Amino acid sequence: MTKIYTLDQIKSVVETMNFSTAIEEGFVAYSKGRVIVPPVGELIFEDPPGDTHIKYGYIKGDDYFVIKIASGFYQNVKLNLPSSSGLMLVFSQKTGVLDTVLLDEGYLTNVRTAVAGEIVAKYMAPENVSAIGVFGTGTMARMQVQYLKSLIDCKRIIVWGRSEASLQVYKDDMETEGYDVQTTLVASDVTESSNLILMTTPSIKPLIKIEQIKAGTHITAMGSDTAEKQEIDSRILGTADIVVADSLIQCQERGEIYKAISAHDLKLEQVIELGSAIESGNRIRTSDTQITVADLTGVAVQDVQIAKAVCTALGNVEG
């Protein structure tokens, strides 16, 4: 009998869980070739604009495989609906039978993305963070900061957004969470004050330029996951000391690395894959002056790992 869980049930277990080890192990297994991840399935809609991604795969010899569907319809806000939605499906690898439906409405995709950013920060953030720079004021702009809480002592945020109104809501919300928040409509305010920058927008035009980036800055680019989206100047990747991709294969077709390679600002040989880079357990950043960039497009192995962990937790709650 297929088990079905709602968002409320899922949230109730997720809020007490820590996924970083499971997802680190997933990235390492992925880079070692032990994970089957076919190309991302994609539906693009024009009116209203939206995109749906199907990410799916399995760790060889594991009990389960996972198919995850996540959509972004950015005009949903006009209808008072969240822009992101979706679900995760967990199947038996031995029989193909559907074991569990996680009606997570895109929540677990956000969580596993925030966890990937947490892993990146653990290995790549500067030792002393002057301020956390955030581009965007949406779900990931909040969740990513929260997932860095245990890792980064700094409680100062400088946030860029397109509207005063959304910046004010962000400031109010995050100050309730104990942060000191400065807002700005000027991108260079962020790059000047911060050395740990989180890009969390669905922008299709670069928001920051190479000239603005100080030595010692780390950028985690989380927003761009299609061939269209781009948040940072390609030349930043070309001149960075270290560029990390969550998936070398995927980043050749979507995200910042795809854009930078297409613009001839970056060569694939300059890019290292997250799972390979963290396998030893050593930090990826080796000095306080390096400029480092991580491009997260979202890999199915993250969905596989989080869905399995949540199913186990939900099963234990039931039992």
Task: List contacts with its own copies (CB under 8 A).
Answer: 2, 4, 36, 38, 41-43, 45, 48, 50, 52, 54, 56-58, 65, 67, 69, 71-73, 76, 79, 81, 84-87, 89, 91, 93-98, 101, 103, 105
Q: How far is the CB of 178 from its own copies (least distance, A)?
A: 33
Cα separation, 162 vs 186, whole angstroms: 9
Q: How far is the CB of 7 from its own copies (least distance, A)?
A: 10
Q: How far is the CB of 37 from its own copies (least distance, A)?
A: 10
CB closer to its own copies out of 51 and 118: 51
Q: Which of 233, 262, 257, 238 is nearest to 246 (CA)?
A: 257
Give the bridge partners for 49, in sequence order.
46
Q: Which of 149, 243, 152, 140 is nearest to 198 (CA)?
A: 140
Q: How far is the CB of 179 from its own copies (least distance, A)?
A: 31
Cα separation, 106 vs 88, whole angstroms: 9
φ, ψ of residue 242 to 5 degrees: the values are -140, 130
- Say if residues 162 and 228 touch (Cβ distance below 8 Å): no
CB closer to its own copies out of 89 and 167: 89
Cα 40 to Cα 52, 67, 150, 247, 251: the distances in Å are 10, 11, 32, 12, 11
The one-letter code for the residue type at 188 is S
Side-chain-side CA neighbours of 256 within 13 Å: the count stands at 34
What is the DSSP code (8-state) at residue 130? Answer: S
Q: How far is the CB of 65 from its own copies (least distance, A)?
A: 6
Cα separation, 287 vs 216, whole angstroms: 8
CB closer to its own copies out of 84 and 201: 84
Q: Which of 151, 139, 142, 145 is nearest to 104 (CA)?
A: 139
CB closer to its own copies out of 210 and 227: 227
CB closer to its own copies out of 68 and 285: 68
Q: How far is the CB of 304 from its own copies (least distance, A)?
A: 12
CB closer to its own copies out of 58 and 123: 58
CB closer to its own copies out of 86 and 216: 86
Q: How far is the CB of 257 from its own copies (least distance, A)?
A: 23
